Structure 1
Amino acid sequence: MAAYVIAEAEHLDDPDVRRYRELAAESIARYDGRYLARGATPEPLEGEWPDTHRMVVIEFPSMVQAKNWYTSPEYADARAVRGVIAGRRMLFVEGLVG
């Protein structure tokens, strides 16, 4: 069953964040993930969404694969480059069968 990683963070454009994006994309592909949305600005129909925040949605073949990616040395390298992004949120959710 597919699993999804949904991330939200303030949009930043500096060399460390650009390098993080490169390393993260490489690590995601290595663990059979694929971007469904990347750097998207959501259109809120209910509630609020800060203009400065972006959303990423990544699909993995399974929750096990998503967690393997998140705990992988490859993604650890990406996180080390990025540092701490205040207010960043990341969620893991399983998809529906069929």
Structure 2
Amino acid sequence: MAAFSMGDNTHHHHGLGYLNANSRSMSRYMEEVIFAPLPPEVLDFLLQTSMLNRLHPDLCDAVTGYRNGEVMLTWIAQHNLFLSTLDEGGF
């Protein structure tokens, strides 16, 4: 997510370490294969919540300022994107 959010500007240090050619290839792959097909609101949600270690609908709502955390997390889980369920409630 960090490489994607920085776009092609991969030669700068932003506390993330230097992103080399392999990182740029991975960034390009993620952008073209994973992120490009996503609905814009899902991509925005993922970018806004990417710094969180754990996701919960209420926490996501607080971070994003929207009231769609549960809907977004359900959609993301149904499409097998980036999530592992931690509890019996599905979150």
TM-score exceeds 0.5: no
Would you tell me which structure has more helix in proportion to its own residues?
2
Would you tell me which structure has more strand in proportion to its own residues?
1
| Higher Cα radius of gyration | 2
